[in-house]
């Protein structure tokens, strides 16, 4: 009896740590680029309870690698199984904080049932990636599909529509070719580069596979890699970041050269300084010979569109300028 209070105390501590054991500890290094990240998790019968638990741990491990927050990475989760069973479990604009999000993921219920991946993809497009549900228009969007079975409905069109929204799709599949074909996975992701096949559920929770997958996702979220040229800016264009040369520069973004302006011809009785060739922001001074005066503006400037700010003008004889009539001899 004497020990009772102590036992209760120990149990409470045990319970407390149990809750936190289910949440991975924060990492020293996280992926710094803010993205909108949605998981589409197959919740069908084939996973079995233990496989589904591993899938949740896997998602936690990936999520934990991102810098989470309202203005950092936002995470959404959808589960799917039967034809009438696509459920938004976490919206992009809910559970911004790490502990809330990881707790929600740990608590995802297991549905069982069939595998309608096409309908799952439709749900993501119709629901998760709507601005009203937290999608931002100035961040990269990622969908990570986690499944272990061939879809019972058509995935080609739904996957295409998702990708057409500018969403980058990754697929993580558990099983052999006979469980889920490589062709299906590549159809969903749109490229073999973003397909990850794990031959066993254990690979969802080992040290190696989740780490490699989350690093791949993080690398894909790096705004511009390799880095843009000094005269270029990294911009988001239809779902992909691109290096674009700044105004007044031309090139592919990794090399940029100042735009050229056309050659100039010095006016009669005048000179240009400097002589060409000319590029963006160059200024050219027009100087008339002694006894002549410039009728025009100097300097002229090479503009960002490759045109000159003004024409070169003309040099007029001073006599003509002050005496409208020629002097009679």
Q: Which positions touch ligand NAG (CB under 6 A)?
A: 69-71, 94-95, 100, 103-104, 119, 122-123, 126, 137, 212, 215-216, 219
Q: Token match 């009539």: residue?
A: 325
Which residues contact residue 16 at a Cβ distance below 8 angstroms, ignoring those fewer than 6 apart?
A: none
Q: Shortest gap between Cβ of 268 and ligand NAG (angstroms)?
A: 52
Closer to ligand NAG by Cβ: residue 154 or 177 = 154
Closer to ligand NAG by Cβ: residue 217 or 302 = 217
Residue among 208, 215, 210 at smallest CA distance from 59 = 210
Residue among 130, 133, 146 at smallest CA distance from 188 = 146
SS3 40: strand
Closer to ligand NAG by Cβ: residue 46 or 86 = 86
Closer to ligand NAG by Cβ: residue 46 or 95 = 95
* 35 alpha-carbon distance from chain centroid: 6
Residue among 168, 173, 216 at smallest CA distance from 196 = 173
Q: CA-to-CA distance for 130 and 126, rounded, in angstroms? A: 7
Which residues contact residue 211 at a Cβ distance below 8 angstroms, ignoring those fewer than 6 apart?
A: 61
Say if strands 249-251 and 232-237 run parallel, antiparallel, or are unpaired. unpaired
Q: Give, as one character, the DSSP assignment of residue 125.
A: I
Closer to ligand NAG by Cβ: residue 212 or 311 = 212
Q: Shortest gap between Cβ of 309 and ligand NAG (angstroms)?
A: 32
Q: Shortest gap between Cβ of 158 and ligand NAG (angstroms)?
A: 9
Q: Shortest gap between Cβ of 175 and ligand NAG (angstroms)?
A: 22
Say if strands 140-147 and 167-174 run parallel, antiparallel, or are unpaired. parallel
Contact 166, 141 (CB under 8 A): yes
Q: CA-to-CA distance for 205 and 53, rounded, in angstroms? A: 10
Closer to ligand NAG by Cβ: residue 94 or 179 = 94
Q: Shortest gap between Cβ of 211 and ligand NAG (angstroms)?
A: 8
Closer to ligand NAG by Cβ: residue 55 or 77 = 77
Contact 287, 273 (CB under 8 A): yes
Q: Shortest gap between Cβ of 119 and ligand NAG (angstroms)?
A: 5
Closer to ligand NAG by Cβ: residue 191 or 212 = 212
Instruction: Burial-class residue 38 by CB neighbours within 10 Å (0-12, 13-18, 19+).
Output: buried
Closer to ligand NAG by Cβ: residue 106 or 317 = 106
Backbone angles phi, psi at 150, to 5 degrees: -60, 140
Q: Shortest gap between Cβ of 120 and ligand NAG (angstroms)?
A: 8
Q: Shortest gap between Cβ of 235 and ligand NAG (angstroms)?
A: 12
Please count the helices (runs of H) and the strands (runs of E) in the chain.
8, 17
Q: Shortest gap between Cβ of 179 and ligand NAG (angstroms)?
A: 25
């Amino acid at each position: 009896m004497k020990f009772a209070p102590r036992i209760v105390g120990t149990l409470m501590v045990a319970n407390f740590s149990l809750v936190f054991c289910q949440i991975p500890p924060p990492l020293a290094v996280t992926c710094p680029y803010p993205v909108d990240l949605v998981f589409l998790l197959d919740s069908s019968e084939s996973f079995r309870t233990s496989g589904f638990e591993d899938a949740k741990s896997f998602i936690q491990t990936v999520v934990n690698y991102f810098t989470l927050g309202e203005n950092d990475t936002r995470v959404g989760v959808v589960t799917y199984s039967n034809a009438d069973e696509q459920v938004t479990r976490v919206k992009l604009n809910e559970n911004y904080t790490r502990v809330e999000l990881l707790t929600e993921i740990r608590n995802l219920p297991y549905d069982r049932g069939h595998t309608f991946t096409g309908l799952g993809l439709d749900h993501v497009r119709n629901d998760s990636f709507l601005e009203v549900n937290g999608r931002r228009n100035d961040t990269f969007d990622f969908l990570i599909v986690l499944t272990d079975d061939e879809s019972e409905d058509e995935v080609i069109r739904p996957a295409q529509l998702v990708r057409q929204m500018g969403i980058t799709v990754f697929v993580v599949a558990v099983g052999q070719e006979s469980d889920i074909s490589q062709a299906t996975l590549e159809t969903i992701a749109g490229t073999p580069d973003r397909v990850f096949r794990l031959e066993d559920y254990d690979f969802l929770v080992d040290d190696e596979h989740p780490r490699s997958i989350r690093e791949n996702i993080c690398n894909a979220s790096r705004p511009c890699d390799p880095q843009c040229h000094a005269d270029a800016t990294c911009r988001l264009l239809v779902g992909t970041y691109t290096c674009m040369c700044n105004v007044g520069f031309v090139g592919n973004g990794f090399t940029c050269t100042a735009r050229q302006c056309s050659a100039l011809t010095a006016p009669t009785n005048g000179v240009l300084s400097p002589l060409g060739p000319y590029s963006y922001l160059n200024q050219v001074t027009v100087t008339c010979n002694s006894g002549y005066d410039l009728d025009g503006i100097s300097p002229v400037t090479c503009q960002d569109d490759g045109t000159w700010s003004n024409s070169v003008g003309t040099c007029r004889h001073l006599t003509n300028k002050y005496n409208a009539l020629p002097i009679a001899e």
